[in-house]
């Protein structure tokens, strides 16, 4: 795995790897379980607080890894309970992380996998930024830890995060190895212990990486489909020119469905563009029944985009027709609209404040 920093973050090291590293360097592998418990169960991020770990091992670990957590540099609270965080990394780069409350006291954290994104979807604000860099595994887990710590300090101890979706900035499968290691850390029963069904990865459809998913922890997979015609999909998502719908659907059929019984397809609804009767027919023809679930996402408008969100009547009609065609379907409600919680929107709004923050807090990025 390509190192992003000379000293990688500790929070991206899966338990098995940590055990190997300890063994190779003359330490006892069982110490890894104790260290995991300090960090991920007791949330003690300062090695000085680890009472049952030797000085020798602590100095080995701090010489090899960075234990610095990403910083919450800005946060917003929506009337509907959604919280948006701007999280700053060691080199001053920032990403968005959004906490979305759900029923039964569940809280989903929407995390970023890259700074910006290389895929360049025409409807997506992140896509217009281009890719600045991948996030290292520890920065991906770091968003979860930084928000957990922030909630504990600023809201209450009870505010525990229960689910993760890779739906912030970036294309997670473009950053395969780092996202894979971060996912292992999220799932580790001796650490954060999130269940496989509580983690969802959303991808724009990188076929070669989808074909490698049997080498990935078995989590939920969501595919950003957005169109059932190649012409429309290529206009929205340039990646469709490289891997069209036939290749994408072929690759999806081979995904091992261990953790779940179905694949979720995300379908952005854009007024008078992909919300027509012929789009419904094409979707019904395209998707394998019983194992497909469609999540309709009404387009989140933003000033720089000419795309519009269809009316509520149109959205409900689209859903009803799809269901009549035998496809299970849900509508994603917009969360945090008053704090610009949609993909990529905060970043531009916050640019001025951010620049100021970066200048104050960091020396020049490497
Ligand atoms: N890169 C991955 C995951 C991050 S994007 C992917 O594309 O799947 C997460 C979801 O937000 C995707 O389904 C994406 O299509 C959607 N999205 C992006 N811009 C949006 C907008 N303006 N309104 C609504 N959804 C948007
Ligand atoms: Fe990247 Fe996803 Fe946005 Fe497309 S929708 S540009 S893949 S973040």
The candidate with the shortest Cα–Cα distance to 181, out of 15, 348, 4, 365, is: 15
Kindly give, in sequence order, each residue whose CB lies less than 8 Å from that of residue 302, ignoring residues fewer than 6 positions away: 125, 340, 342, 345
Nearest ligand 2 atom to alpha carbon 124: 3
Nearest ligand 1 atom to alpha carbon 223: 8
CA distance 186 to 178: 12
* DSSP character at residue 321: H
Global pTM value: 0.93
| Residue with CA nearest ligand 2 atom 8 | 170
Strand pairing class (107-110; 163-166): parallel
Ligand 1 pocket: which residues have CB below 6 Å?
A: 123-124, 167, 171, 202-204, 224, 266, 268, 297, 299-300, 342-343
CA distance 71 to 142: 9
Do the first three CATH levels of 10-64 and 71-359 match, i.e. the same topology? no
Domain segments of the chain as ranges: 10-64, 71-359
| Residue with CA nearest ligand 1 atom 4 | 167
CA distance 154 to 148: 10
Q: Which position among 110, 117, 329, 343 bears the catalytic label?
A: 343
Residue 323 annotated as catalytic: no
Residue 188 annotated as catalytic: no
pLDDT values of the chain reduced to their tens digit, one per residue, 366 residues: 778 899 999 999 999 999 999 999 999 999 999 999 999 999 999 999 999 999 999 999 999 999 999 999 999 888 888 899 999 999 999 999 999 988 888 999 999 999 999 999 999 988 888 999 999 999 999 999 999 999 999 998 777 899 999 999 999 999 999 999 999 999 999 999 999 999 999 999 999 999 999 889 999 999 999 999 999 999 999 999 999 999 999 999 988 776 556 899 999 999 999 999 999 999 999 998 888 999 999 998 888 889 999 999 999 999 999 999 999 999 987 666 665 555 555 555 554 444 444 444 433 332
10-64 domain in CATH 1.10.150.530? Answer: yes
CATH number of the structural domain 71-359:
3.20.20.70
CA distance 241 to 20: 42
């Amino acid at each position: 795995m390509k190192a992003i920093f000379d000293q990688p973050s500790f929070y991206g090291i899966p338990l098995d790897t940590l055990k190997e590293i300890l063994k190779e360097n003359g330490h006892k592998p069982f110490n890894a379980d104790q260290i995991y418990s300090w960090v991920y169960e007791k949330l003690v991020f300062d090695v000085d607080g680890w009472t049952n770990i030797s000085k020798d091992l602590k100095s080995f670990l701090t010489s090899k890894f960075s234990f610095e957590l990403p910083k919450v540099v800005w946060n917003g609270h929506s009337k509907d309970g959604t919280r948006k965080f701007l999280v700053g990394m060691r080199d001053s780069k920032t990403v968005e992380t959004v906490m979305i409350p759900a029923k039964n006291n569940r809280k989903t954290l929407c995390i970023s996998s890259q700074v910006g994104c290389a895929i360049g979807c025409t409807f997506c604000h992140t896509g217009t930024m281009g890719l600045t860099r991948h996030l290292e595994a520890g920065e991906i887990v770091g968003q979860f830890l930084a928000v957990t710590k922030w909630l504990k300090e600023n809201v209450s101890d009870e505010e525990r995060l229960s689910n993760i979706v890779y739906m912030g900035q970036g294309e997670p499968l473009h950053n395969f190895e780092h996202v894979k290691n971060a996912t292992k850390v999220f799932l580790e029963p001796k650490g954060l212990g999130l269940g496989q069904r509580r983690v969802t990865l959303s991808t724009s459809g990188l076929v070669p990486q989808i074909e490698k998913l049997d080498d990935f922890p078995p989590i939920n997979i969501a595919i950003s489909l957005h169109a059932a015609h190649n012409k429309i999909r290529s206009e929205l998502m340039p990646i469709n020119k490289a891997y069209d719908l036939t290749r994408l659907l072929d690759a999806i059929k081979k995904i091992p469905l261990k953790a779940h019984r179905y694949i979720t397809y995300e379908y952005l609804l854009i007024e008078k563009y992909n919300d027509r009767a012929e789009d419904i027919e094409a979707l019904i023809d395209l998707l394998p029944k019983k194992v497909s679930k469609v999540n309709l996402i009404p387009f989140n408008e933003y000033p720089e985009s000419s795309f519009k969100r269809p009316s509520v009547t149109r959205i409900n009609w689209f859903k009803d027709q799809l269901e009549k065609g035998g496809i299970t379907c849900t509508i994603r409600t917009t969360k945090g609209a008053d704090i610009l919680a949609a993909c990529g929107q905060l970043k531009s709004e916050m640019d001025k404040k951010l620049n100021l923050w970066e200048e104050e807090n960091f020396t020049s990025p490497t």
